[in-house]
Amino acid sequence: MISEKVKELFDKLPFMALSTVDSNGMPNTVVIGSKKIVDSNTVWTIDTFHNKTKENILNNGNVSIALWKGKEGYQIKGKAKYYSEGDVFEKGKNWILKYKPTKIVKGVIEIKITEVFSLSPNYNEAGKKIA
């Protein structure tokens, strides 16, 4: 589902925005830096500081990632699960600790991608579903 073009920008950017929503429909957005495309349908991000984000994911799991540089941007929507133990947690923790050995890992958020949209600011692409 994630194209090479989206993957290239995702891998290049040090930070992006992760949005969740609580049970009352109140949005919450945080900055994520520890993130990985696991496969074309799955993204991981590491929880070190999440409070509202974790609670929102445990309640409904609907998430959106916004990433952009200059006039190129994408929105990745998906369904997230939060892991603080088990196989996904251990694999995610082992992955990030190779790169950031002092990182505190409270949990791993696994996002199964459902849609990808363009955020590029032009009339032909803005808001267009690309996957």
- What would the DSSP string read from start to end of 50-79? -SHHHHHHHHT-EEEEEEEETTEEEEEEEE
The average pLDDT across 46-75 equals 96
The two tokens of residue 101 are 């050995």
Distance in angstroms (rounded) separating the CA atoms of residues 49 and 70: 28
pLDDT tens string 84-111: 999 999 999 999 999 999 999 999 999 9
pTM value? Answer: 0.94
Q: How many residues does the chain have?
A: 131
What is the predicted pLDDT for the residue at 85? 98
